[in-house]
């Protein structure tokens, strides 16, 4: 699930929620009636990224049209493995410029028993898969531009939902020109938290990392529980209309209410929810 929204008080109505549900149903129907053109591409890397999570890199250097279809962080594509017709929907973890520069797409894949993703994680370098072109609107960062008008950006991600968030951070959205950019990144424990090796680079780009563990061991001294609770405890938002929020993770995150300056704020869901960004309870 990907969500990007300026925070502003009293902006949701029941009608708007119903409108978005209808749009989501339409998007889901479009996926079921898929007429994608499939492109074969070999795996160039597959290795563990965290417990139950795998880093997967796919060579698209011989498919310039496919590489060029990734234009915005938050997009996704469909992937099929040999002899399995049912595709898996995967958020692209690498930034849009990566395919042009390195000739590859990168993904963070959770291996779930009985799924296409599990079969993918069992392949090896050189094995060939099929990819559709990148789809979806992605994160509409222009909604929180220019940086001086929206100096605060809050990013929430859980489990494998960090995948499109990595693409967002590494594609750049003027984080270093904003006064407060925070990533609340939730996982069950540190063994399940991917991309820890990238935290230093992300922070140097202007993003403060706030790890949140739901089941930490006794040595953990950081935030614990759920990301929405960690944010609610911190608060520190002084201008709701100058704040943007990006979410990717569990449905419960968007159902949580946030109160800023006495005003209750909700979140708006974009149609990309159909692409399996939403995580299950066991992932977190």
For residue 284, what pLDDT band results from cuts at 50, 70 and 90? very low
Q: Residue 202 CB: number of other CB atoms within 10 A? A: 20
Widest CA span in the chain:
56
| 30-47 tens-digit pLDDT | 444 456 789 999 999 999
For residue 85, what pLDDT band results from cuts at 50, 70 and 90? confident
Per-residue confidence (pLDDT) for residue 238, from 0 to 100: 59
Q: What percent of the chain has pLDDT over 70?
A: 73
Q: 28 with 188: CB under 8 angstroms?
A: no
| 110-131 tens-digit pLDDT | 999 989 999 999 999 999 999 9
Per-residue confidence (pLDDT) for residue 231, from 0 to 100: 82
Q: State yes or no: pLDDT of 96 exceeds 50.
A: yes
Per-residue confidence (pLDDT) for residue 64, from 0 to 100: 96
Distance CA 21, CA 43 (A): 36
Q: State yes or no: pLDDT of 281 exceeds 50.
A: no
Going by C-alpha positions, the residue among 232, 115, 238, 108 that lies closest to residue 179 is: 238
Per-residue confidence (pLDDT) for residue 272, from 0 to 100: 34
Report how far Cα 121 is from the mean position of its chain's Cα atoms.
19
Average pLDDT of the chain, as a whole number: 80
Distance CA 140, CA 73 (A): 9
Per-residue confidence (pLDDT) for residue 268, from 0 to 100: 33
Q: State yes or no: pLDDT of 92 exceeds 80.
A: yes
| 165-206 tens-digit pLDDT | 999 999 999 999 999 999 999 999 999 999 999 999 999 999
Q: What percent of the chain has pLDDT over 90?
A: 57
| 207-226 tens-digit pLDDT | 999 999 999 988 999 999 98
Beta 180-187 vs 208-213: how paired, if at all?
Answer: parallel
């Amino acid at each position: 699930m990907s969500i990007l929204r300026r925070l502003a008080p009293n902006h949701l109505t029941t009608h708007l929620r119903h409108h978005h549900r209808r749009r989501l149903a339409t998007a889901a129907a479009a996926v079921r009636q898929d007429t994608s053109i499939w492109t074969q591409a070999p795996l160039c890397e597959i290795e563990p990224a965290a417990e139950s999570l795998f880093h997967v890199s796919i060579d698209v250097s011989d498919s310039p049209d496919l590489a060029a279809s990734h234009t915005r962080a938050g997009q996704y594509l469909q992937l099929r493995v040999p002899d399995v017709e049912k595709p898996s929907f995967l958020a692209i973890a690498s930034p849009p410029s990566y395919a042009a520069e390195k000739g590859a797409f990168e993904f963070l894949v959770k291996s779930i028993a009985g799924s296409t993703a599990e079969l993918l994680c069992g392949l090896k370098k050189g094995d060939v898969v099929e990819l559709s072109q990148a789809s979806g609107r992605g994160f509409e960062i222009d909604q929180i531009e220019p940086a001086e008008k929206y100096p605060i950006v809050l990013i929430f991600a859980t489990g494998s939902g960090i995948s499109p968030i990595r693409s967002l951070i590494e594609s750049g959205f003027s984080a270093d020109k904003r006064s407060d950019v925070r990533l609340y990144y939730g996982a069950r424990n540190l063994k399940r938290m991917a991309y820890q090796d990238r935290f230093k680079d992300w922070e140097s780009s202007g993003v403060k990392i706030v790890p949140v563990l739901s089941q930490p061991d006794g040595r953990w001294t950081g935030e614990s529980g759920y990301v929405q609770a960690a944010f609610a405890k911190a608060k520190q938002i002084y201008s709701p209309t100058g704040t943007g929020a990006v979410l990717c993770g569990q449905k419960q995150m968007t159902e949580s209410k946030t109160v800023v300056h006495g005003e209750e704020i909700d979140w708006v869901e974009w149609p990309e929810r159909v692409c399996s960004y939403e995580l299950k309870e066991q992932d977190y």
